[in-house]
Amino acid sequence: MIDQLNQFEQAALARLSGLAEAAALQAWKSETFGKQSLLSTALGELGKLPKEERPAVGKRTNEIKRALEAAFAEKESAVRAAELERSLRAEALDVTLPGRPLRRGRLHIANQNLRQIYSIWADMGFQIYRSREVETDEYNFGLLNMPPHHPARDMWDTFHTPTPGIILRTHTSPGQIHAMRELYPDPIRVILPGMVYRYEQITVRSEIQFNQIEGLAVGKGIRMTDLKGTLTDFARRMFGQTVRTRFRADHFPFTEPSAEMDVECFVCGGQGCPVCKQTGWLEILGCGMVHPAVLKNGGYDPRVYSGFAFGMGPERMAMLKYKIEDIRYFWGNDLRFLEQF
Ligand code: DAH
């Protein structure tokens, strides 16, 4: 029996030394230590041997088992190291190759344009005040001097939510009330930029969402001349120092008096062309002196305080500036458009 075991050991070691792959090693392992192997059967049948042989056979079987296990472990780590070495060599990286260039991103044209406008207003002493996009009917209309059923509400086609009285803001003007209520009794000079939403048919000139920039100045002794001077200065910084501007009387419920501001058409220089519809002028914003009722709703006593406000459409302005003929390009996510800026 001992001879048989010794032969088994020699044969197993001989086969093991010739192996070079992990799969073959696993096969060797199950042949050598598996249930059918001589090692297992020898131990299993120990009881059938004559009593005096049993200790020697048992001892030898265990020795061989341990020796084979040790040989296996050694071989296994050698094979692993060799395989690693092989794969490192085969899949070698040439670290001296130049890397793949990363595509450089850019700001969206709408954001580039917004930032330019922010910095002009910042230079003029206006801070940015952020206001919510989901509003109550009261802030969007009521507190801006448009009680329920006021006909002026028809100027803004509105997205309503399933919650009665909760809407998407149709303009940035409700931010005026938030700013006043938060900042009272301090003087105010803020711009309120952000998305507004309108339940409108989408055309080349109108989208269901777009940015607006509201402006609000409140203090003592603020007059219409301050409004005109400030907005004219803005237009010059935005469109060039020599640009001509004009104000036309208009109506908004939250300002009195109200106006619209035009800049000279820079496509035709004021001569009249298709872009300005032959008028020589381009409308860029609505504005006016804050209505006493609005000041009061914001917490400011209109007998003591006055102020001006304005609301402009930055995308409309960018369209004029870059001669973009369709407002839908802004949110269409078409790289052929976006990469031009
Ligand atoms: N909220 C107006 C709109 O969406 C724009 C506007 C006009 C804002 C006059 C003002 C303003 O602050 O004084 O059409």
d(CA 258, CA 250): 5
d(CA 142, CA 126): 26
Q: At CB < 8 A and 24+ separation, what contacts does 103-111 make?
A: 106/338, 106/339, 106/341, 108/338, 109/318, 109/322, 109/330, 109/338, 109/341, 110/211, 110/314, 110/315, 110/318, 110/330
Same domain, 151 and 292: yes
- Provide the pLDDT for residue 202: 84
- For ligand 1, residues with CB inside 6 Å are 171, 173, 214, 252, 255, 286-288, 309-311
Same domain, 50 and 130: no
Domain stops at, among 65, 91, 117? 91
Inside any domain, residue 49: yes
- Provide the pLDDT for residue 51: 86
- Provide the pLDDT for residue 135: 98
Inside any domain, residue 96: no
Within 13 Å, how many C-alpha atoms sit on residue 147's CB side?
1
Tell me the CATH number at 224: 3.30.930.10
Domain holding 28, by residue range, is 2-91
- The 8-class DSSP code of residue 265 comes to -
Inside any domain, residue 102: no
Q: What is the total count of domains within the chain?
A: 2
Pairing of strands 127-128, 188-197: parallel
Among 252, 261, 317, say which to mutate for ligand 1: greatest number of ligand atoms within 8 Å of CB.
252
Inside any domain, residue 101: no
Within 13 Å, how many C-alpha atoms sit on residue 38's CB side?
18
What is the position in ligand 1's atom list of the atom closest to the CA of 311?
A: 8
d(CA 325, CA 341): 15
pLDDT < 70 positions in the chain? none
Same domain, 121 and 154: yes
**Ligand 1 mean position to 225 CA, how many Å?**
18
Same domain, 113 and 41: no
Q: Which residues pair with 194 in a beta bridge?
A: 212
Inside any domain, residue 82: yes
**Ligand 1 mean position to 227 CA, how many Å?**
14
- Provide the pLDDT for residue 20: 86
- Provide the pLDDT for residue 139: 98
Inside any domain, residue 25: yes
- Provide the pLDDT for residue 197: 97
* 310 neighbors 215 (Cβ within 8 angstroms): yes
Same domain, 21 and 114: no
Same domain, 71 and 116: no
Domain stops at, among 91, 121, 148? 91
* 332 neighbors 202 (Cβ within 8 angstroms): no
- Nearest CA owner, ligand 1 atom 6: 311
Model's pTM, two decimal places?
A: 0.72
Letter for the amino acid at 43? Answer: L
Phi and psi of 196, rounded to 5°? Answer: -125, 160
d(CA 298, CA 301): 9
Q: Which residues pair with 135 in a beta bridge?
A: 167
Same domain, 74 and 115: no
**Ligand 1 mean position to 76 CA, how many Å?**
79
Inside any domain, residue 196: yes
Q: Where are the alpha helices (DSSP H) in 91-146?
A: 109-123, 137-140
Same domain, 160 and 69: no
Domain stops at, among 59, 91, 123? 91
> Please, what is the Cα angle at 302 between 296 and 306, to 5 degrees?
115
Inside any domain, residue 300: yes
Same domain, 305 and 223: yes
